[in-house]
Structures are given as C-alpha cells and as structure tokens.
Structure 1
C-alpha cells in the first residue's frame, strides 16, 4: 500500500517542481514561435541577467541529427523578445507574425536554370556563384520582406553556392541587433554570411563619396583571404537597396542577365510623391540617347514623370511591352552584374555613384546594361504592395513572353554625350567618357 502511494506521489512532486521553476523563471524566457521548417528542434535556455532564446531551425534541404542550439541575446537597442519575431519572419516565408509585402510562390521551373552555371570552373565545390550585397541603415520594418526574400532565393539556388554581405551603420531602430542575431541561424543554413557595422555616415559630408565607400565595403568579402579562392569572374553579384523585394524579383534579375548575355541588369524602382507612383532613380538612370528617363524642367516639378522615354520611341515601345531594354546607366533599387570587372588586376570599384560605376563598365567593355521592367520595386512594404497591384508581380509580367522578343539587339557604343544634373536647375550635356578612371 505504501509503495503504491509512493509511486503516485513521486510524479506529482516532479510536476509541481517543474511548474514552479517555469513560473519563477518566466521573465527570463523569450520563445521563438513555431517555424514552418522541417526537422527543427528547439529548447529554451535561461540566464540570470538577460533574456535568451535557444532554437535550431533546420533548413528543408538538410536531414541530420545535429542538436546544436542557437542563442539570441539582448541587443544594444532591442530586447531578445523584440528580435525573435524578425528572426522568425526572415527564416520562415510563411510567417505572418510581422507585416510585410505578400509575395507569390517561386516558379521553380523558370529559375531552375540558375542552378546550372555551365562553366566547369564555376561548378567546383565551394564556389560562390551568387554574391548578395547590401548596405542597410535604419530599416528594421523592411527586414522581414527584404532579408526573407534573399534567404528564400538563396535556399532555392543552393546555400553552399551563395554568400550574403551586409554593411550596416547608424541604425538607432535596432536594425543592427537583428542583423547580428541572424548570424548563427544563417550559418546553419549553409551559406557564408558577412556582417560589418560601419560608422561611415552619408548624411554628413560628401554623401556620394561615402556611399561609394559603403558599397565597396559590401563587396570586400569577394576578395578577402577567406573567400578569394571561392569567387571568380563567373560569380554573379546581386546588389540590393533597402527595397521591399520578392524572391522572384531577385532571381529574375539574375535570370535576365544570363538569358540576355548582359553585363548588368537593373529593376525599375518607384516612389510616391503624390497619389501616383513616380520612377525614382531619375538622377542617375540614362537611356541610350544619354537622356534621363523623363524630362525634369529647371523648376524641379515632376509633372512629366508619367511620360517615360518621351524622346526614345524604341525604348518606350519595349518598356510598354515589359521587355528588357538597353540603357547607358541604371541602378533602380536592385542590380545583378558579373564579377569579372571586379576581379581584373586593376579591379573595378565604386568611386562615385552608380552612374559613374556604369561609365567605368562601358570604358572596360562591359556595356551590355539593361533594365528589366518586369521587376518593379518600392522602398516600403505598404507602397510596394500598391506598386505590385498596379504594375503586377514579376511572375505576372513575364508570363507568356516570347523568348525571341525578350532578346536585345545590343548597341556596342555608348551615347556620345550624357545629360548631367547636379541639381534640377543645372542640367547640361557632357561627353560620356569625361572623368573616366585612369588605369
């Protein structure tokens, strides 16, 4: 009788002890919501001085029995419980814990070709075929969509073939906390992640020069001792601004570069200065006639912003048909370009804005630069949703396009002169090769 009573009491006491310990320690726990990722194990870890999360999200392509645990500590700005929803959203495409632009499922059959590099030298084990580069500042709300799409694209391409380089600085909103906390999770996904915080502040001093420095910092891991033997001229660089992009937007830029034989492809980026969207990168984008994408009078009013390519009928026809078209220069929120000019002995680097970068590409014989109007981007989730409703998602825009119509009849020589615009009231034409980099 006593033995039976003892057997009943022992489990009861154990349950009470566990419940009491959890109650007393609940203030120290930060729980990661369930991720819809197969083969995941998770655990909670407590400490006396901080909130910590321990979780191991296994990516779908791995099936092993590792039990390593990842800890998210307090950030400099954000507590761990504020960081964890961003980690969840970035790693899990189906997460709805944080608001973000809704994106369609990837059309795998369209982008499968990107998994085959073709070049034997580029198929070597460990070679970085796709290098994603970003400079981010104070863009916490955008991270679930932007980084979530990049992670989705990398998973599709094959994590072992990809690298992600992010340079952050001057972010009082906690952007840096999330980017730092991501590191062990992304390493578990199997791709190289390079994160650097910089105190270079483009808001003070020479903005263009400092932005060039930040872009070069984001490219630096391409050439450092750790990765220089894993990158080559066959590597594709995807440089992405702080935009609300879907995974298909990024993959389409890479696919278009390959399909067109382009040296560089750009999206179209938009902003809302009123009820209707306006093309954003008008400062630096130039057509093959050397002119801006729309006319801006000296008074600076964008009344003609709706009339894109008003003086370039062939370009306008291709734009209206959502077909890629050649330009002298572009950036437009996101680009894909080959690493070959960067890998040369006198490797190309940013020494000014993107227009200068394109000018240097032309000077080195890389003038196959194209805009892909099927890819339309904006700089916030809410307005990106409006753009996607108006312009269509990339998958909508490319559906049914005939391959022979997509191809570009490349013009080998740049326009003789380019319109310069230091400000709206000071517009003038100069030779395209003025101020070229001297080898």
Structure 2
C-alpha cells in the first residue's frame, strides 16, 4: 500500500474511532516519556505524607521567579524606601537586623548579599543564589494580623513589604492572617491574586473575606473589636490543631510600610522585651499645610495625657517624652497603636487571655478605643512595657508618604564615596537629618539602641469616650480622667515576664 492509499483509507475512519485511537496513542507516548520532559522545571512535585497530599516547598529559583511576577504588581508608593541609601546606613542596617534573619548562609557572606527581594535588594547585590547553602538559626515565629476595608490602593505595597520581610524572617517562621469585610472597591479581587502568588512561594497566608458592614445600630467599638478578633482566629486554630505557637504578633492597619520600618519595630520589640511596640503615624493638616501626628484618640503619654494632633514638637506633654521623641529616640508610653503594633502574644495565650473588646460601660469603664483598652489590659496583666518608635513614620496615602519620606538631596551625601579621614559621620551634621521629616536613610545613633528604664503606669489616664451606637462622627461623651487599676501602677507591671530577646541584641 502506497502513502496516498494509506491516507485515503485513514480519512474513511469514523471520527469517534479516530479520537479514541488518538487518546490511546497519547497515553502510550506519555507513559514512555520521562516526567521531566512533560513538566517544566519549575513545576512543584507532590509529596505524600500519610493520606494527605502536600506540596513541597519551592526552591530559591522558583521563589525568585514568582517574585518577579509579584513585583509587576507592586509596590507603587514605597518603591523608593530603600533605593540609593547612603552606604553607612546600609552597613548599619546589615549589622542591626542580622539577628532577625530566619535563614543564615553558612558562609561569611552578608545575609543581604545572599537574598534578592526587589527594592530591598538595593541594600546589597544578589550574588549567585543557587550556590548559597542556607542553614536555619534559632527559630522565632511571627504572626501577622491585618484588617482591610476598601484598601485597593495600598494592597500592592502592603504585600510587597510582607513578602520581603517574611523572606528575611524566614517564610517558615511567618504566618499572615488577613480579614477583609465590606469593601466596595476591588479589594477582594486583588487579595485573591496576591493570595495565590504568596502561597506559591511558601509563605503561609490565610485570607478571609466577608460582605458584612457595620450596621446603623451596632456599637462602633464593639464592631471594630469583632473585626480585629476575626484576624486573630488563625492564631488559636494553629495552636489547637497543630500545637503551633508564635512569639511575636504584628498587627497592621491599612498603611504604606517600608521593609526596614517593619524590621525596626520587630527589633525594638525584641530588644526591650516590650509588651507592645508601635510606630508614629501621620495625617495631612490642611491649615498647617504639613503632616501632623494622627492617632491621638488611642495614644497616651506615660503620664496619662493624650498626645496631640500637632507637629512633632507639640505632640507630647511630658517634657522628657517630648525631648526623646524630637531626637527620634524610643519613648515609653501608656498606650499607642499608630498603624502598626508589635505585641508580645503571651497575654493572648495565657491568663487573663486578652482579646480586643469594647468597654464595660455597665461597670463605668470609659468607652475608649479597642486599641486603648488592650493597652490597659496589657498593663493589668503585667506586660506594661509599651514603646513608641519615632524613627518609624507611617502614612496612609501617597501625599503624606512623600512628605515624611523625602529624597536625600545634599551633595555631602553623594553615594559611593568612602570617608578617608576626619571626624566620623554624624547624622545630626546634615541639615536634612536634623529636620524631623528627614530622608529615610537617616543614620542610627547609639542612643536608639540603649536600654530604656521602664516605669510603672500612671494612676489616671485621659479618656474621651464613645458611647453612642451609630455615631460615626467621633467621641460623644465628655472626657474624663479615668483611674487605672493598682496593679498597673506597681513595678511588676513593667518587669520582664516573657523573654523574647534574640541572640546578638
């Protein structure tokens, strides 16, 4: 039979029979070829443990490939955070945060030179990652909790920072829990994209969404406390189902954070064994044409007075606190939240088992913010080492972010030059570094790493309550000086109970 006759006979075969023959041939060919020929090199192979099907952790190359995809969507506003930082700041950062690295190279190479995480990689070159052998250090577990509502604009920056910070802390050491509800923009759709991307590189993320909104007759603080507790649910689920505990909680609002901002808050939290560590957040004041301190409804000075929505020199009433704040030095406070709070989780795991809550109005407790109340509960539980870190300046929008993170323009800070002699660099000799909203790469001073002498809490705290249901315009009762429990005024309230300091701090 010649070729023409063969093809003529083949065309007479019924279509269903031809399809069946094709499928059989495909199966035979597939079985005869090696699996590596059919699957791309980056495909993940399942590993069977007992009866559960699990995915193997991706390789460094696979993570880097997904990072490139992730970076096409982020970040928008914070892309200049660590770009073109002055060399001395880069050196300080490498030394300061080395103890936080969750995976350490066995060679003597710098930890930053062994990792490439987009913009954070501007601190150091990537090098040849496939030849770096990583060995785990002492593990510390971090639980990130986030509430989102109509947050489409900030999600790319938020996830970019989460992704890079988690890579430094170690993906296996981090769990991210996000609770979103009631958004009317495309927040839910964008969250689904980032959920898939982050999980594909081994970062554990739980994103739960809801259509629920605050009803007209729901108490505002009761509602907000419930929303925050929803983001905490995986913390207890992991404890109950896998006996997994975390020694640091990072609770984030809808902010625009830089990578080194988050590392500094975690570093200060561990350095001082703090119960709560927070940043300083800012909003734009139209009349002053400048950013001013924002979260004064929650934040209280160590003397119990409320902080002010004012420029930096007029925020604190206590003279000692004000002086430290203006020098960018960590300040002990009675309460704060300010966009990000790093919490010691011990009071969540052990008695008195604190949770976000509304005030016990029936017992004459002032109806403060759920964030103020949790600070009060930390004091009463004996975890009153509460710290504000002025260096970490946070914004909720691009306008404020650009003001509080200006670009360095002074010619004395030309990049790449090394001092050959003379006096050592002093961050206060550059006029930009002396300004409050100076460049992001302002050098660290020794005072920013010194021990803080924590003192017991005040006997009374200024409280402007919010009693009414449905009122969304602000506090609705007369402010008072509320008395604090005697236990928060004793030395035991600031005694270290949960040792969280890391090696090298």
Q: If the length of structure 2 is used for normalisation, what is the TM-score?
A: 0.61
Is 1:249–1:394's contact at 8 Å kept on the other side of the alignment?
A: no
RMSD: 3.4
Matched, 1:370 2:381: no
Relative to structure 1, the CA distance from residue 253 to residue 230 in structure 2 (aligned partners, 3 Å threshold; closer, same or farther) is farther
Is 1:265–1:336's contact at 8 Å kept on the other side of the alignment?
A: yes
Counterpart CA distance in 2 for 1:427 and 1:395 is: 40
Give the deviation of 1:176 after TM superposition: 0.7
3-state SS in 1 of match to 2:405: helix
Is 1:237–1:338's contact at 8 Å kept on the other side of the alignment?
A: yes
Is 2:146–2:252's contact at 8 Å kept on the other side of the alignment?
A: yes
Matched, 1:351 2:357: yes
Give the deviation of 1:186 after TM superposition: 1.3
Alignment coverage as a number of residue pairs: 343
Counterpart CA distance in 2 for 1:157 and 1:139 is: 25
Matched, 1:433 2:482: no
Counterpart CA distance in 2 for 1:40 and 1:332 is: 45
Give the deviation of 1:345 after TM superposition: 4.7
Match of residue 77, structure 2, among 89, 100, 113: 100
Match of residue 60, structure 2, among 59, 62, 72: 62
Give the deviation of 1:381 after TM superposition: 2.5
Counterpart CA distance in 2 for 1:310 and 1:161 is: 37
Matched, 1:406 2:450: yes
Q: Partner residue of 2:329?
A: 323
3-state SS in 1 of match to 2:354: coil
Counterpart CA distance in 1 for 2:205 and 2:282 is: 29
3-state SS in 2 of match to 1:429: strand
Is 2:330–2:448's contact at 8 Å kept on the other side of the alignment?
A: no
- Counting only pairs closer than 5 Å after superposition, residues 201-220 of structure 1 correspond to structure 2 as 201-202=213-214, 204=216, 205-220=218-233
Counterpart CA distance in 2 for 1:236 and 1:113 is: 15
Give the deviation of 1:338 after TM superposition: 1.3
User: More deviation in 340-349 or 320-329?
Assistant: 340-349
Q: Partner residue of 2:274?
A: 262
Match of residue 415, structure 1, among 452, 458, 462: 458
3-state SS in 2 of match to 1:154: helix
Relative to structure 1, the CA distance from residue 264 to residue 315 in structure 2 (aligned partners, 3 Å threshold; closer, same or farther) is same
Give the deviation of 1:276 after TM superposition: 0.9
Counterpart CA distance in 1 for 2:331 and 2:237 is: 35
Q: Partner residue of 2:145?
A: 133
Counterpart CA distance in 1 for 2:397 and 2:317 is: 31
Q: Partner residue of 2:342?
A: 336
Q: Which runs of 5+ in 2 are unaligned?
A: 1-39, 44-56, 84-89, 104-134, 359-369, 407-435, 466-474, 489-505
Is 2:312–2:326's contact at 8 Å kept on the other side of the alignment?
A: no
Counterpart CA distance in 1 for 2:404 and 2:215 is: 28
Counterpart CA distance in 2 for 1:133 and 1:40 is: 34
Counterpart CA distance in 1 for 2:243 and 2:139 is: 4
Of structures 1 and 2, the larger Rg is shown by 2
Relative to structure 1, the CA distance from residue 432 to residue 226 in structure 2 (aligned partners, 3 Å threshold; closer, same or farther) is closer
Match of residue 190, structure 2, among 178, 188, 208: 178
- Cα deviation digits, residues 270-302 of structure 1 (max 9, x gap): 0013111111100110011100112xxxxxxx6
Q: Partner residue of 2:249?
A: 237
Give the deviation of 1:409 after TM superposition: 0.6
Give the deviation of 1:148 after TM superposition: 0.8
Give the deviation of 1:258 after TM superposition: 1.0
Give the deviation of 1:225 after TM superposition: 4.6
Q: Partner residue of 1:360?
A: 377
